[in-house]
Amino acid sequence: MKLSNREARRFILSQQGLWTPRQLEGKAGILDYLERVGCIQYDPLDVVGRNPELVLQARVADYRPALLESLLYEDRALLDGWDKNMSIYRVEDWPHWERRRQAYRQNPGRSKETVEAALPYVLQEVAERGPLSSLEIEMEKRVDWPWGPARLARAALENAYFRGEMIIHHKVHTRKVYGLAERHLPQALLATPDPHATTEAYHDWYVQRRVGSVGLLWDRGGGAWLAMGAIKSPERKAALARLQAREEVIPVEVEGIGRPLYLRAQDRPRLEATLAGPEPASQAAIIAPLDNLIWDRTLIQELFGFQYVWEVYKPVAERQYGYYVLPVLYGDRFVARFEPEQDRESATLRIKQWWWEPEVTVTDEMRAALKAAFAAFLRYLQIGELEVGETAAAEAVAWLASA
């Protein structure tokens, strides 16, 4: 199969629910998107919402964080788990990760004896008192833990979580409150055996899931393949070979890309519908820093001509743009990026800085689309005012804040 660069871009955007933005609706739209892409990456940093919220506001009309909270902690239709690092995925995916839970039970890593000795007490506390965070369990001893020294209470709760005995019942801001899996997930789901009879079958499922998480993906190391317990390059290559032999993934030759990209066979109807359908009016969207669309930064640079690095962990002197910078999509191109600042007291969103991409021609249609995108963004944040900083941003987009 051969695609032009433009066709490949538009299919990926269609797979991502961004061709055009904000066409999904409500909880059903969120679940539809998660079924399509597998997971959304979680990050606790909150400047204008956390990463999952930013992902969903670009896709779901009138998205509010309460929708995701409800799906996670009331409906139990979604789970906090580990997929693309910390992630959110559908509860139906629970059995697929049994192999990873089993591996953790066999090798929990640091401070094994101390942590596992504390496990029965922690399980009993949660069983008797209900969902608890580590702050509510009096175990002050500190142990060596993968993220650095930690209270024994936290380590024991996380141990039970990675073993599958606990789930994250809810969060208080970023603090995790754990509950017993057997009390909050259906027994039939917990009793479902690992659907992958062999390690190879698990690798095939995992590779297909990753390809679908982006839409088109290549056999090349990059951000899209990163995960806790991710498979290695030889295993990935072997899985792709098996999947091609069974015609479950399709190699795609894309204009300007020097290696094949891969498409899930189940996504081919979406590709064909995208290419056959009428071209929609270009709309704009604000994209999350860890959005599925830009997981593989090298691929995005080759397909879209857009180079993006999330610079929050870079020293100030090494930043090219700013601390927390978000890409701006218009139609099938990235046209700008900006640094936001939210003042919750005055209910104001401030654009501290704005950078147009090279060779962007700003038209009246683009201005209208950007104003609509920022109006939707303000509704998502539930704030009423947009300001433009007194810098070069004011010259570039002062019209965004005008009536």
Structural domain includes residue 329: yes
Query: How far is residue 386 from each of residues 53, 340, 352, 379, measured CA to CA in Å?
Result: 19, 10, 11, 11
Q: How many whole angstroms separate alpha carbon 336 and alpha carbon 304?
A: 12
The H or E element that residue 99 is part of is helix 98-106
Structural domain includes residue 299: yes
**Per-residue confidence at 266, pLDDT binned at 50, 70, 90?**
very high
Structural domain includes residue 166: yes
Tell me which of 150-154, 240-244, 266-270 is least confident: 150-154
Q: What are residue 38's phi and psi, to 5 degrees?
A: 95, -55
**Sole residue written with tokens 């801001």:** 173
To the nearest whole number, what is the mean pLDDT of the chain?
95
Structural domain includes residue 85: no
Contact in structure between 275 and 19 (CB atoms under 8 Å): no
pLDDT tens per residue, range 1-19: 999 999 999 999 999 999 9
Query: How far is residue 5 from each of residues 252, 254, 258, measured CA to CA in Å?
Result: 11, 6, 12
Share of the chain above pLDDT 70, in %: 100
pLDDT number for residue 28 = 98
CA 166 to chain centre: 22
pLDDT tens per residue, range 114-150: 999 999 999 999 999 999 999 999 998 999 888 789 9
Structural domain includes residue 162: yes
Instruction: Show the tokens assigned to 26.
Output: 């409500």
DSSP alpha helices (H): ranges in 197-336?
A: 199-214, 233-245, 268-276, 297-304
Query: How far is residue 257 from each of residues 2, 254, 261, 271, 305, measured CA to CA in Å?
Result: 11, 6, 8, 18, 12
Q: Count other C-beta atoms under 10 Å from residue 313's C-beta.
A: 7
pLDDT number for residue 109 = 75
Last residue of a domain, one of 149, 184, 219: 184
pLDDT tens per residue, range 329-384: 999 999 999 999 999 888 999 999 999 999 999 999 999 999 999 999 999 999 99
Q: How many whole angstroms separate alpha carbon 206 and alpha carbon 192?
A: 18
Contact in structure between 69 and 177 (CB atoms under 8 Å): no
**Is the model's pLDDT at 403 over the cut of 70?**
no
Instruction: Show the tokens assigned to 247.
Output: 């015609």
Structural domain includes residue 349: yes
Contact in structure between 309 and 324 (CB atoms under 8 Å): no
SS3 sequence of 10-63 = HHHHHHCCCCCCCCEEHHHHHHHHHHHHCEEECCCCCCCCCHHHHHHHCCEECC
Structural domain includes residue 343: yes
**Is the model's pLDDT at 390 over the cut of 80?**
no
Distance spanning both ends of the chain, measured CA to CA: 47
**Per-residue confidence at 226, pLDDT binned at 50, 70, 90?**
confident
pLDDT number for residue 110 = 75
Q: Taking the complete model, does pTM exceed 0.75, yes or no?
A: yes
CATH classification of the domain holding 395: 3.40.630
pLDDT number for residue 113 = 87
Last residue of a domain, one of 184, 211, 238: 184
Q: What are residue 218's phi and psi, to 5 degrees?
A: -105, 170
pLDDT tens per residue, range 48-100: 999 999 999 999 999 999 999 999 999 999 999 999 999 999 999 999 999 99
Contact in structure between 32 and 20 (CB atoms under 8 Å): no
How many domains does the structure of the chain reveal? Answer: 2
Contact in structure between 41 and 84 (CB atoms under 8 Å): yes
Structural domain includes residue 172: yes
Instruction: Show the tokens assigned to 84.
Output: 């693309």
Percent of residues in the chain assigned helix, strand, coil, to nearest 5: 45, 20, 35
Last residue of a domain, one of 184, 200, 233: 184
Domain that holds residue 115: 108-184
Tell me which of 23-27, 329-333, 367-371, 399-403 is least confident: 399-403
